[in-house]
Amino acid sequence: MYDPTVFENLKVAFENKIYDLDTIEREIAISNRSDLMDFATLTRKLSIQFNLLHQKDVAAEVVLTASLQDLADEILETPGKDLGCSLSLRFTKSVQHVDGQCKQIEEALNVIWENDINISQTLSFKYGEESSNYRNMIEVKFNTKINEENMQEIPDFLHSVLLTLGVLNSI
């Protein structure tokens, strides 16, 4: 009998909880979904992008990935390996006061996601358009992998994502 991978099990769990937030609880609006298999590198990636229903200025994206090495370690039951998938978040937001707002964003994210994370902010603008607005791509990478043992933490995780969206909307 086919035994689903850690990625497949987590993918279904994340999809179910996120779609419940959209269709049943009506807290978010999903704007994009991508479920990719890269045959060149044999990696899997699930990405679901959404925003708070009544605050569309900031978008969140939950990204779950599994590499060929992750899959091989799981199938071969490699001892001593951290089995699971990588999880990251991306938030996009417009900023006008780069130094002040980016510092506030970093401080807020460190309070909300107090664990082992790496935060990066990438600013961009459209060349030729005179504007004081920058697009800020905020990426939160978690240093530890997740697996089926973390499934009961998904609702709390998503609650923190919604909290982050609310905080980013206020900055």
Q: Which among 137, 156, 117 has a CA at the least distance from the CA of 59? A: 137
User: What's the number of domains the chain is made of?
Assistant: 1
Asked whether residue 127 is assigned to any structural domain, the reply reads yes
CA distance 88 to 62: 6
Asked whether residue 1 is assigned to any structural domain, the reply reads no
CA distance 123 to 102: 10
- Percent of the chain scoring above 70 in pLDDT: 98
Asked whether residue 34 is assigned to any structural domain, the reply reads yes
* pLDDT value at 1 more than 50: no
pLDDT value at position 2?
A: 64
- Percent of the chain scoring above 90 in pLDDT: 84
CA distance 145 to 24: 29
Q: Quick check: helix, strand or coil at residue 7?
A: helix
Tens digit of each residue's pLDDT (9 = 90 or more) over 124-135: 988 887 777 899
Tens digit of each residue's pLDDT (9 = 90 or more) over 70-100: 999 998 888 888 889 999 999 999 999 999 9
**pTM, rounded to two decimals:** 0.92
Q: Quick check: helix, strand or coil at residue 129?
A: coil
Asked whether residue 109 is assigned to any structural domain, the reply reads yes
pLDDT value at position 25?
A: 96
Q: List the domain range (segments joined by +) for residue 106.
A: 6-170
Residue at 126: amino acid letter: K
Tens digit of each residue's pLDDT (9 = 90 or more) over 130-162: 777 899 999 999 999 999 999 999 999 999 999
Token code pair at residue 139 = 């990426």
The whole-number average pLDDT for the span 58-62 is 98
Q: Quick check: helix, strand or coil at residue 25?
A: coil
